[in-house]
Amino acid sequence: MKFKQTSLYQRLKDIYKTIKNYYRFNFCGSIVFFVIKRTKIKSSYVESKFHSINNNQKSLFLITVAFNDEILIQKQIEAMKEFIKDDNYCHIIVDNSSVKAKRKEMVNVCNKQNITYIPVPKIISCCISKISGGFSHGTAMNWAFYNIINVMKPEYFGFIDHDLFPVENYHVISKLYEQDMYGTLRNREKGWYIWAGFCFYKYAFIKDIQMNFSPKVFHSEYFDTGGSNYTRLYQYYNFKQLQFAPTTTLRIQNFNADIYQDNRIFHNDCIQIIDDSWMHIVHASCINDKILQKNKIENVLSNYQKMFSAYQSSKVNNNE
């Protein structure tokens, strides 16, 4: 006999989910954050990477947290070399891949492209990823922030999602001329934050802040990766006084379904144009159906120029 779902049942289910998320992201997150801040790089391989960067100081560090897909990283590296117009920047691949073979492929790609490659400790990619993909991503970002950014102290820095690549000329530092942080806004009922997949900062602005890019639950509301920085940074600023990167969500196959009613449609059948210059393959590493995931990535990488041209044309038509 099936238990009849009532409004009370749904409320109890929501309460259970909130408690579960609170335990995962707040309690476990606090412990992991405490440990990660104190985890120092000891590998001579990684130290040599720092040394090579020291010999050629850069004013802008752009970090990509990679995860199990060297094809996306290859495309992103090529696109950034073509379209990022900042004169003095360093692109770093921080590898959070959980599959050993994928890490080897990632090393090969970075070596061929002469891009700095630094792997995160396997406890992050293999163990913490079992708690949550977003939690693992945020922890890898924290590790990179405290072991790379806080060590190298670049004038500017940012994090870029691994399934995101530029399609138009872009100047990162110009976005920080008039303000100290920039990226894609995530506005929630209980607060706001900048999406961790597209966020840029002046280092002097946050150097004394204990940044935490992990997800968190605030007053029963889930804040995704980067959300823990709300209480550390964002709550002290009125987001209405800041500029953010506009985001347009586009359908690929145009299935007859509302993306806001079915999250699977958003993950499986959508891309995003960010700041009129970047293309985001939404949740490229999180689609449960691996064949569908592979097909989506191949489809976008083969047709992104047509997709972007169609977006530009529709934008022009809408403005007329």
108 located within any domain: yes
Query: Between 229 and 131, whose confidence is greater?
Result: 229
User: Average pLDDT in the 219-224 region?
Assistant: 82
Q: What is the pLDDT of residue 4?
A: 44
Contact by Cβ (8 Å): 82, 104: no
- Report the number of distinct structural domains present in the chain: 2
In whole angstroms, give the CA distance from residue 295 to residue 275. Answer: 26
User: Average pLDDT in the 208-219 region?
Assistant: 88
In whole angstroms, give the CA distance from residue 111 to residue 130. Answer: 29
Of the pLDDT bands very low, low, confident and very high (cuts 50, 70, 90), residue 141 is very high
Contact by Cβ (8 Å): 139, 126: no
Of the pLDDT bands very low, low, confident and very high (cuts 50, 70, 90), residue 218 is confident
Q: What is the pLDDT of residue 197?
A: 95
Domain of residue 268 covers 247-319
Contact by Cβ (8 Å): 198, 245: yes
pLDDT digits (tens, 9 = 90+) for 93-112: 999 998 899 999 999 999 99
Phi-psi region of 315 (alpha: psi -120 to 50; beta: other; left: phi over 0): alpha
- Asked if 89 and 22 sit in the same domain, the reply is yes
Closest CA to 152 of 66, 58, 64: 58
Q: What is the pLDDT of residue 23?
A: 46
**Among 85-94, 104-113, 157-166, 262-271, which stretch is predicted with the lowest mean pLDDT?**
262-271
Contact by Cβ (8 Å): 192, 230: yes
Q: What is the pLDDT of residue 292?
A: 73
In whole angstroms, give the CA distance from residue 48 to residue 54. Answer: 10
- Asked if 17 and 71 sit in the same domain, the reply is yes
Q: What is the pLDDT of residue 21?
A: 56
- Asked if 150 and 63 sit in the same domain, the reply is yes
| pTM (two decimals) | 0.84
- Asked if 309 and 166 sit in the same domain, the reply is no
Q: What is the pLDDT of residue 254?
A: 59
CATH number for position 189: 3.90.550
Average pLDDT, the chain: 82
- Asked if 189 and 229 sit in the same domain, the reply is yes
**Among 125-129, 211-215, 292-296, which stretch is predicted with the lowest mean pLDDT?**
125-129
1 located within any domain: no
- Asked if 178 and 266 sit in the same domain, the reply is no
- Asked if 191 and 256 sit in the same domain, the reply is no
Of the pLDDT bands very low, low, confident and very high (cuts 50, 70, 90), residue 190 is confident
